[in-house]
Every structure is written in C-alpha cells, then in structure tokens.
Amino acid sequence: MWNEIPGGVCAAKGFTASGVHCGVKAGGNPEKNDLALILSEKECTAAATYTLNRVKAAPIYVTMDHLENGVAWGVVANSGNANACCPMSHENAQAMCAAAARATGREPEDFVVASTGVIGQTLNIAAIQAGMPQAAAALNADGSDAAATAIMTTDTRKKEISVAFDLGGREVRIGAIAKGSGMIHPNMGTMLAFVTTDCAITSDMLSEALHEVVARTFNRVTVDGDTSTNDMCVVLANGMAGNQLIEWKDDGYAFFKEALEHVCRALARAIAGDGEGASRLVTCRVEGARSEESAERLAKAVVGSSLVKAAMFGADANWGRVLCAMGYSKAPFRPEHVDVAFRSQAGEILVCRQGDGLEFDEDQAKEILSQPEVVIAVNLHEGEDAAECWGCDLTYDYVKINGDYRT
Amino acid sequence: MWNEIPGGVCAAKGFTASGVHCGVKAGGNPEKNDLALILSEKECTAAATYTLNRVKAAPIYVTMDHLENGVAWGVVANSGNANACCPMSHENAQAMCAAAARATGREPEDFVVASTGVIGQTLNIAAIQAGMPQAAAALNADGSDAAATAIMTTDTRKKEISVAFDLGGREVRIGAIAKGSGMIHPNMGTMLAFVTTDCAITSDMLSEALHEVVARTFNRVTVDGDTSTNDMCVVLANGMAGNQLIEWKDDGYAFFKEALEHVCRALARAIAGDGEGASRLVTCRVEGARSEESAERLAKAVVGSSLVKAAMFGADANWGRVLCAMGYSKAPFRPEHVDVAFRSQAGEILVCRQGDGLEFDEDQAKEILSQPEVVIAVNLHEGEDAAECWGCDLTYDYVKINGDYRT
C-alpha cells in the first residue's frame, strides 16, 4: 500500500521544478505562470503515451524523437499556445529544448517538451527563450506548485499528487502534475501529465506499466469528446530510491503499477471534475458486465453523452438518456436486464429495474444529483466485470468558455 | 428535374393526414397537437430505416413486424412520450395500431407506428384511444400541417416538403414531414420522417432507394451525438401516379431517387438548423478527398465537435478545432495539405492554407460567422471526392432545454 505525501512532482528524490511568467500569450495575465521546468539530478528512464489524433502538435513529434533512446532528464512546457498547425512549430519546439538545455547545462535531447493553449498561432519563442534562465534559476524541491500553475489554461484548480510506498525495504515515491479542462477525450494519452519517480525500473517495464495504467485512468475520462492534438503523459524514473531494479513483472512491478494507477486515477478524476465549465464530477460505474472492455465502453458512452451531461447539470434524474447512451455504445448487453441508480453523499436511489422505469421520489433524486460528485450506477446482471469512467456536466459556462476562447 | 409544390405529406395522390390534441402528456399544452395520422386510399409498398441503437423503443419493433410483408396503408404517431423503456410499451404500441385500425376501418398490421418524447414513462394509451376517432374524422388532403405539428417536441419549426416530377409522361409526387431537435445523431435512420409518394415502385426498389438516400442525407446530420432510441424514416408509395412500375435500377429509378434525395436532404438540413437551442445551421463541406466515405467521416467529425459547435455559437473563427476534429475522425488525410475557409451569405475567408494558419481579418470572419447559415469549407487536395454534413451550434439554450427537459 501507499501513503499520500506532499511534494507533487518534486516528491521523488532528486527532482526539482519551477514555473515562471514569460509572456507566451500577448496581453496575458502577467501574474499567471506560463513556463514550467522539471529536472532530475540523475538520468531517468522515461516512458510516454501520446494523443492518437492524426493532427499532432510539433512538441509531440519532438518528444517522440527525444525519447527514442528511452531516457530523459527533464520536462519543459508552456501554456498559452499549443504550438500546433502554425509556421515554425517544429523549429520552435526544438528551440524550447535547446533553451532549456542551455539554461541547465544539459543537452536538448534530454528534454521532453509540451505545449498547451490555442491551436494555429505561431509560438512566441522569443518570450520563452528570454524567460528560460529565470525558470532554471527558480528550480527547487518546492517547485511543484509553480510548475502545476504554469501548465494551467482554463483549469480552475491545480492538479498534483504524490505517494510513497515500500519496495523491499526502500521507500519509493511517485509524484505528478497534470492539466486538463477542455478538448478532453484522451485516447492513449491525456492532456498533459508529468509523473516523476525515484523508482529503479527499466524503460521497458516503465513503459508497460504506464500503458496499462493510462488505459484504465486517463483514457476513461471525457469532458467534451474532443481528443486534443497535444495530449501527452510522461513518466520519468531516476532510480534514486535505491530499490532493486524492476526488470520483470514481479511483485515489485505490481506494487509500482498499483501506486502509479492511484496517482493517475486521482489526476484523471481531478481533470474530469475540473472540466471546462463543470459544476460536478460525474462517474459512471458499470457492474455485472461480461467483460471489463464492454463495461468501459458503456460507462464512457454514458459520461460522454451531451444529453446525460445536460441532465446532470440540471440535477434531473433522466435515466432514459443513460440507457439510450448505452444503447449506441456498440457494446453488447440486454436492455431488459439493466438496473440504474443514482448515488452521491446524499444517498442512493434506484430509478430503473430490469429496463423499466420505477416510480421514485423526485425531490430525493434532485437532492442526490445536486452534490459535487455524482455516481451513475449501472448493473447489467450478466457477469462479474466492472469499469468506471469519469466526466462532468455540460453547463452554460462550457458554452461561454468555448464560444469565445481564442479571441 | 423536380419542382417544389405545396401539400407536404398529402401532396401525392390519395394521401390524407391529420393532427389533433389528445393529451398524451399530463399538463401538456392543450393547444399542441400530439397525435398524427397519415392514410393512403390504396395499399402502399413501404420501406423504412430504423435506429441502430441497441435500446429500441417498442414502436420500432412493432413497425418492423408490420412492414415485414413490404406493404402498409398509413402511419400513426404521437409526441409527448417515446414509449421506450417502460412497462407495457409493446402492448401500447400495438394498441395504438389497433385504435387507428378501428377508427379507419383497416387492420392493425396496415399501420406504421411511431412515438417521440421522454423515455421511461408509461404511455397514456387511454388518451390516444380516446383521441383516435377525432384524428380519423379530421383526415383530409390539407392535413399535412396539422400532422407535422403533432410530431414536434422541442422543434421550433415544422418540417415539411413536397416535390413533383415527370416520369414517362406521368406526374409523380413525393411529400414528407419530419421532426428532429435533440438526441439527433442518426445511424441508418433518423428521428421521425414520414415520406409519401404516388409513384409506382416495387418494395425492393423503394427500400434500395431509401437506404441509399438516407445514408447521404439524414445520416449526415448530427445535433448532439446522441443516437435516439426511436429513429425511424418510412416511405409509403401507393402507385396512384400511374407511371410505369419501377422494378429495376433504370432511368425511372434514378429520377425517383434523385427527387427522394432532394426531399430528404431538405428535411435533414431543416433538422440540423432547428437543432435544440441552435442559432445557426453549420454545414461542413470536405472536398478534394480520395473517397466520399473519408470526406463524410471528416465532415461529420467537424460538425459533431462540441468545441467547433461552441466556436460557431460565438462566431469565433477557431479553425484549429476544425483540424483537431478531423484529426480524431479516424479518416486518413495529410494535415499539411489542408485548406480551411469559412463561408456564408456575407462572404468567404481563407483561414488555413496547407495546414498552417493565415493572418486574416477578424472582423470580416466574425461577420461571415454571424449569419444563420455557415459553411466550413475544407479542401484536402488529395483527390476528387466530396461530402457535406450538417449540424448546428452549441448554445446556452441547448444546455437550458436539456438541463430540465423531463420535469
């Protein structure tokens, strides 16, 4: 088991971070950090998952290139501009790594690079180059907060978490920061999540663990069904915990993967709950399925449905939309076996049994659905498997934020 | 070629229609028609497409059963309740047909039956049975308007159209009514569309034409990505035009199909433009594609993207979201070849050439995007094929309508 500890992305031994304002976005808030650095004092094995969008931002390609050898030392990231679909995007992503390398005494290839913000406008690389020395000077073991702030766009809350656990007598730590908010429908990646650990683990095992975990955490989130061009989840492991190197899928691997899954699930839930304009986190849990895959597909269709999301905003127990979304998910199930309940800290109410609506207390349902976290609980009564997916409600503020985000 | 003529679903020879208020929905507006009848004075060959949602409303199954022999005489439909996922749904769908048969002197199996409205509440069949004699008495050749009104839910505009064309010296007519609004993402069907024609055509040819046309019209519409449980598109052909029977894919078939496609496209565009809360019709036209299939997939991803839809609401020329949506559509294309322009009655503006953003006049773009019909024009520069899909913007009113639709 693991304990949650403070420190965020700097919790693991040997990692420092920083976040500064350099002015990426013309007319941006001068108080808002927009440039983040994360650095390890030792070389790290590294693994990443990336967006499957066919239109990929330049930083994705540059990072893929830099991680081809499976090692890295740090991360450089900016908010305020996605560095996607614009002139000089590839050159500017490389220039960001070069500036980070100069300021820290490393090589450009040692850096993972990421950008988030508006698509299609040329990156203000001069501002980033000018701000880099300040970012490097600010690197410190308490820098997780500043870095987490620097990658936020329309996020309203910082997303960071860290855990410690024992591996053969050695304390191993995992820490992370992430950003989410809009254009969130990850597919083998997520908006931006940077995970650090002092665990000694091979690049192969790290990649294996990350891919297994991302499939069950970030890839089960949807805010608006739009898979971003810039999604990236990276984990860096510097081995400084001194545990016996994880080379196989042994108990150590299982412990590490479990802790990594806890970290990623917490961030995934935070991203869903802080979706653009969201007033509540909506979880759909599908149980009694014949396979985890079909449970996941059903749950994701439910949290992805615009009509379910609008009903959750209105705290309206419109469970017919839940069944409708399950029906078009392309997962097999028998509608006439399905139970649906709504649950939150205010209680639980069964609204549909064996596919037919029940009489229920509308006031009680309203009370349950008015809480900041709501669970849509579905039982298929067909098997033993289950899966949970996370999303948020569809609100006036989502429309407002996205009706005029760019200008 | 065809001419648009008045008459709607009664334009073709031998068809009458009616719409009355019977009180399906407790506390509903007593002025609002909620029960529609369409009847032919001769037996019709009939074809239909249905929702592919795994959760299908009872009227879908009953209609499938009644059309197994390829013939029908009429349609009975109600709004105010979807007759889906509720006790007695199958029995009540059959009872609707039986009531229509009693009131018109026909057999229950002669009727197509359809319902639209809230899912999960038991249908008030007594109200429908009580209202049926009045509906039957009101059947007349000017009844298209009343019937079109009776199938509306959150629709703000009636959807009806009719055309006439010449087939070997005989005038043939096609007329139709439809309803759309929310839960619109048809898949081999659409919300509700009832098409009548006096064309003489075999059931096989009618079905072939309908399936080809629906794939290129209704199936290219999306309002909110939610495929309904009640989608149905039915065409009834009574042969009273006296044209030579269409039995093969000859010229007559081609003329008929072209006219049918015009009718269905007009209704599809009307459904998109009157999507729940919509302030404008958004068309995405993809040209220069290697296949019509990939053009359609790309265009549908663009009009289906919540972020594109919100940008259209804000008249924001955020074309990066257009490329992003194309990127996750799973259709092949080269981002570095793509041009994007916005076009409307106020003009046209190119915003992206060969995958990179252009400098453009923001005021001109705003003016173009503020019109009631907007086209997002994409050129892939890879081939000769093209496709158009239709949707609408995502507005505060969509959220408002769906945050509290049920109660």
Would the pLDDT of B188 be above 50? no
Neighbouring-strand partners of residue A377: A285, A341
Q: Does residue A357 have a pLDDT over 80?
A: yes
Would you tell me which residues 187-226 of chain B have a C-beta closer than 8 angstroms to some C-beta of chain A?
Answer: 187, 224-226
Interface test with chain B among A399, A404, A406, by most B beta carbons within 10 Å = A399
Identity of the highest mean pLDDT range in A315-319, A340-344, B232-236, B275-279: A340-344
Closest by alpha carbon to B86, among B45, B44, B128, B115? Answer: B115
DSSP 3-state of A317: coil
CA dist B95 and B115 (Å) reads 13
Apex CA A277: angle with CA A273 and CA A279, to 5°? 55
Structure tokens at A186: 């990850």
CB contact B55 to A (< 8 Å): yes
B122, two tokens: 């038991």
Encode pLDDT of A21-31 as tens digits. Answer: 999 988 888 88
Shortest CA distance to A106 belongs to which of A59, A83, A73, A152? A73
A407 touches chain B (CB under 8 A): yes
Provide the shortest C-alpha distance from residue B316 to chain A (in Å): 6
Q: CA quadruple A295, A299, A301, A307: dihedral positive or negative?
A: positive
Interface of A with B in 248-267 (CB under 8 A): none
C-alpha to C-alpha distances, B226 to A30, A251, A391, B163, B229, nearest whole angstrom: 42, 44, 16, 31, 9
The answer to whether B202 and B244 are in contact (CB under 8 A) is no
Q: Is the pLDDT of residue A188 over 50?
A: no
Q: What is the mean pLDDT of residues A77-99?
A: 93
Distances in Å between the Cα of B277 and the Cα atoms of A243, A304, A355, B235, B389 are 58, 19, 30, 29, 19
Model confidence at B401, pLDDT cuts 50, 70, 90, reads: confident
CB contact under 8 Å between B85 and A327, yes or no, is no
The terminus-to-terminus CA distance of chain B in angstroms comes to 47
Chain B residue at shortest CA distance from A401: B310
Question: Whole-angstrom Cα distance, residue A237 to residue A43?
Answer: 8
B386 touches chain A (CB under 8 A): no
Q: Which residues of B touch A400 (CB under 8 A)?
A: 396
The arithmetic mean of pLDDT across residues A288-301, rounded, is 93
Residue B345 has, within 13 A of its CA and on its CB side, a CA count of 6
Binary contact (A396, B399; C-beta < 8 A): yes
Under the banding of pLDDT at 50, 70 and 90, the label for residue B265 is confident
Question: What is the average pLDDT value for chain A, to the nearest integer?
Answer: 89
Could B55 and A326 be called an inter-chain contact, meaning their C-beta atoms sit closer than 8 Å? yes
Q: Sketch out chain A's domains with CATH numbers.
A: 2-273 (3.60.70.12), 281-403 (3.10.20.340)
* Residue recorded with tokens 């996205």: A402
Dist. CA A261–CA A222, nearest whole Å: 18
Query: In a mutagenesis test of the B interface, which of A50, A54, A83 is the best target, namely the one with the most B β-carbons within 10 Å?
Result: A54
Cβ contact A113:A96 at 8 Å: yes
Give the 3-state DSSP-derived string for chain B, with helices as H, strands as E and coil as C: CEEECCCHHHCCCCEEEEEECCCCCCCCCCCCCCEEEEEEEEEEEEEEEECCCCCCCHHHHHHHHHCCCCEEEEEEEEECECCCCCCCHHHHHHHHHHHHHHHHCCCHHHEEEEEECCCCCCCCHHHHHHHHHHHHHCCECCCHHHHHHHCCCCCCCCEEEEEEEEECCEEEEEEEEEECCCCCCCCCCCCEEEEEECCCECHHHHHHHHHHHHHHCHHHECCCCCCCCCCEEEEEECCCCCCCCECCCCHHHHHHHHHHHHHHHHHHHHHHHCCCCCCCEEEEEEEEECCHHHHHHHHHHHHHCHHHHHHHHCCCCCCHHHHHHHHCCCCCCCHHHCEEEEEECCEEEEEEECCEECCCCHHHHHHHHCCCEEEEEEECCCCCEEEEEEEECCCHHHHHHHHCCCC
Residue A89 near residue A229, CB atoms below 8 Å: no
Cα separation, B12 vs B195, in Å, equals 10
Nearest-angstrom CA–CA distance, B227 and B304: 12
Quick: pLDDT tens for A118-166: 888 899 999 999 999 999 999 999 999 999 999 988 788 888 999 999 9
Q: Residue B319, class by beta-carbon neighbours within 10 Å (0-12 exposed, 13-18 middle, 19+ buried)?
A: buried
Percent of chain B with pLDDT over 70: 96
Q: How far is CA A212 from the centre of its chain?
A: 14
**pLDDT of A401 above 90:** no
Which residues in chain B have their CB less than 8 angstroms from residue A86's CB?
356-357
What's the one-letter identity of residue A8? G
Per-residue pLDDT for B405 more than 60?
no
**Residue A60: pLDDT band with limits 50, 70, 90:** very high
Q: What is the mean pLDDT of chain B?
A: 89
B205-242 pLDDT, tens digit per residue, is 888 888 888 887 887 777 777 777 777 888 889 888 88
| C-alpha–C-alpha distance, residues B126 and B110, integer Å | 21
The residues, ordered by sequence, that sit 6+ positions from A342 with a Cβ below 8 Å of its Cβ are: A317, A319, A348, A349, A351, A365, A368, A369, A374, A375, A376, A377
The burial class, CB within 10 Å (0-12 / 13-18 / 19+), for A385 is middle
CA dist list (Å): B283 to B183, B304, B309, B341, B378: 18, 11, 11, 12, 11
* 8-state DSSP, A12: S
What residue type is assigned to position B105 of the chain?
A: G
- At position B212, the amino acid (one-letter code) is E
- Check whether B47 has a pLDDT greater than 60: yes
Q: Which residues from chain B sit within 8 angstroms of residue A187, using beta carbons? A: 328
The pLDDT, as a whole number, for residue B121 is 86
- Beta strand A192-197 with A385-392 is unpaired
Enter the DSSP assignment of A219: G
Task: Kindly indicate the confidence band of residue A183, based on its pLDDT and cuts at 50, 70 and 90.
Answer: low
Comparing C-alpha atoms, which of A375, A383, A317, A380 is closest to residue A353?
A380
Residue numbers in A near B318 (CB within 8 A): 118-119, 405-406
B295: which residues sit within 8 A by CB, 6+ positions away?
B286, B287, B289, B331, B380, B385, B386, B387
3-state secondary structure at position A286: strand
A190 is catalytic: yes
Q: Is B371 on the interface with A (CB under 8 A)?
A: no
CA distances, A206 to each of A2, A109, A212, A245, B340 (Å): 18, 19, 10, 11, 41
Give me the interface pTM, i.e. the ipTM.
0.77
Q: Please report, for residues B96, B276, B283, the alpha-carbon distance to residue B181 in angstroms, rounded to integers and kept in the order given.
A: 24, 5, 16
Residues of chain A with pLDDT > 90, as a percent, come to 53
Closest residue in A to B228 (Cα–Cα): A324
The encoded tokens of residue B112 equal 């197509």
Categorize the per-residue pLDDT at A189 as very low, low, confident or very high, splitting at 50, 70 and 90.
very low
pLDDT bin (cut points 50, 70, 90) of residue A191 is: low
For A228, half-sphere exposure in the C-beta direction (CA atoms, 13 angstrom radius) is 34
Q: Which of B60, B81, B191, B226 to mutate to test the interface with A (most CBs of A within 10 A)?
A: B226
Bigger pLDDT: A272 vs A285 = A285
Q: Do B398 and A310 touch (CB under 8 A)?
A: yes
| pLDDT above 90: residue A283 | yes
Confidence of residue B38 (pLDDT cuts 50, 70, 90): very high
In angstroms, rounded to a whole number, what is the distance separating the alpha carbons of residues A210 and A264?
9
Residue B374 has pLDDT above 90, yes or no: yes
Q: Crossing angle, helix A396-403 and helix B306-313, to 10 degrees?
A: 70
What proportion of chain A, given as a percentage, has pLDDT over 70? Answer: 97
Comparing alpha-carbon positions, the chain A residue that sits nearest to B317 is A406
pTM: predicted TM-score of the whole model, two decimal places: 0.80
Average pLDDT over residues B149-175: 89
pLDDT level of residue B406 (50, 70, 90 thresholds): low
- B128 pLDDT higher than 80: yes
B189: pLDDT strictly greater than 50: no
Contact criterion met (CB < 8 Å) for A85 and B320: yes
| Weakest-pLDDT range from A288-297, B13-22, B320-329 | B320-329
In the structure, what pLDDT confidence band is assigned to residue A386 with cuts at 50, 70 and 90? very high
Query: pLDDT value at position B271?
Result: 85
Whole-number Å distance between alpha carbons of B309 and B392? 7
pLDDT above 80: residue B7: yes
Nearest CB to A324 within list B119, B307, B402: B119
The reported pLDDT for the residue numbered A76 is 96
- B296's CB contacts (< 8 A; 6+ apart) are B220, B286, B387, B389
Task: Measure CA of the first residue to CA of the last residue in chain A; give whole Å.
Answer: 47
Query: Model confidence at B184, in pLDDT bands (50, 70, 90)?
Result: low
Q: Give me the catalytic one of B45, B153, B154, B190.
A: B190
